[in-house]
Amino acid sequence: MKVEGDELVALCRESPVKGRVNKELIKESSRIFKKRVETVAGFTSKQKKVLITNISANETNAVLSKHARK
């Protein structure tokens, strides 16, 4: 995953069949943020909205800043 502007861009290895990409996205996002992540919109779209629970804006920005440098 990497940050481009105000978006988090994820490149997935799975094919978009039976929700595999959504599962991979959630798994990877949960690993990076170390929080529970769930998809709230865009289940069949390339653009998705996710909800990260129990995280502050400062924590989110710190994680995103770390990944923006990669």
Express each pLDDT in 27-67 by its tens digit.
988 988 999 999 999 888 888 888 999 999 899 888 888 87
**Rounded distance between C-alpha atoms, residue 7 and residue 54, angstroms:** 20
Number of domains in the chain: 1
- What is the pTM (predicted TM-score) of this model? 0.73
Structural domain including 25 reads: 2-68
Residue 7, CA distances (Å) to 26, 49, 57, 58, 63 in order: 16, 10, 15, 16, 13
